[in-house]
Structure 1
């Protein structure tokens, strides 16, 4: 059985977990409101980051 760690929230939100880890974490999410809320935060932040163009991060000339 795969051990679920609360630290896996970011890895889950970024799609970095193996299939086995992902399945275990999704079972954990069903009963852990704290992790579920964190996943929601990471997901929202990911959407914001997707909207940033790399040129926007460079200093102005």
Structure 2
């Protein structure tokens, strides 16, 4: 038999194996000092863990569990008496009011930036910069003057 794994040795130490498998492990342990040493270490570790003091919780776990169970019972009773359909919307009311207020203030501030909301056309002098004819009326090339004036 090959040496058992650590988990198998731990199960053997905790007496959690079948009787037939326990007999095989016992035979192997009698002839394998390595496995016997590992089993001794596992047993010593288990004994030292059991010897450690139990920590005190500082609160009553049973009372907390009872409170949770009672709360679930109350929730089930509330579920049998449904709430009015509009009660779910009350939770969204603050977000809706904040969104509406933000939208209204954005529109108001945008109106202030536009100068009363009327769109203003740029002056004619500013648009002349984009004409194909340079200031002074002279064309840079003769074909540009004819095309811009509609001449054949």
Task: Give the TM-score, by structure 2 length.
Answer: 0.33
Shift of 1:53: 2.9
Larger relative contact order (CA 8 Å, sep ≥ 6): 1
Q: Post-superposition, which runs of at least 4 consecutive aligned residues in structure 1 deviate over 4 A?
A: none
Residue 14 (structure 1) aligns with: 14
The number of equivalent residue pairs is: 55
Shift of 1:4: 6.2
Contact 1:4 1:25 in 2 (8 A): no
Let me know the Cα RMSD of the aligned residues.
Answer: 2.0
User: What stretches of structure 2 of length at least 5 have no aligned partner?
Assistant: 58-152
User: What stretches of structure 1 of length at least 5 have no aligned partner?
Assistant: none
Shift of 1:38: 0.5
Cα 1:36–1:43, aligned 2, differ >3 Å: closer, same or farther? Answer: same
Which is greater in Rg? 2
